[in-house]
Copies of this chain bind each other. A is one copy, B any other.
């Protein structure tokens, strides 16, 4: 298979179908490959291209990627692979939406980041955000982070799909 084909989603694909393809392609890519950098990089590409092929409002995603535990500083996240504009390099646990997801180990769906206390504005264009923790043995090892330029871009279906991906990533990579 030409690998890039995994990122090709039909234009206007339904969210359910797009996420099913993300999960299927991710699972195939991770089979026999446990390197977390490699697997997160391809996952960011899958999420990005899936969202941009979906109808409104999903197609307004402006960042999709990962923060992982910073190996040099406890209780701190550091930037991992992503698609989008240059991003904040480190985030303390508890700070902003990513830091809250890391600290609480709970998914955060933020309809409007402007009303989120302590929002970290890496990109002033971002209006809504979803952050999903990746857990291994109950401990957060990374978070999936997706931003959108429109409010309320993420719903319960995004949450469930990204939580499924997070679960696969948790078990498929050597962290």
Interface residues of A (CB under 8 A from B): 2-8, 25, 29, 33, 35, 37-38, 41-42, 45-46, 49, 63, 65, 68, 70-72, 78-90, 121-125
Contacts and interface: CB of A to CB of B under 8 A. Distances in A.
B38 A78 contact: yes
Q: How many copies does the complex hold?
A: 2
Given A42-B87, A87-B42, A37 B122 contact: no
* Chain A binding surface, main DSSP class: mixed
A65 B2 CA distance: 18
Nearest to A2: B124
Given A4-B86, A37-B78, A42-B87, 18 more contacts: A4-B63, A4-B85, A6-B86, A25-B86, A33-B89, A33-B90, A35-B71, A35-B78, A35-B79, A37-B68, A37-B80, A38-B78, A38-B80, A38-B90, A41-B65, A41-B80, A41-B81, A42-B89
Contacts of A42: 79, 86-87, 89
11 contacts: A3-B87, A4-B63, A4-B123, A4-B124, A5-B86, A8-B85, A37-B79, A38-B78, A38-B89, A42-B89, A45-B84
A37 B72 CA distance: 13
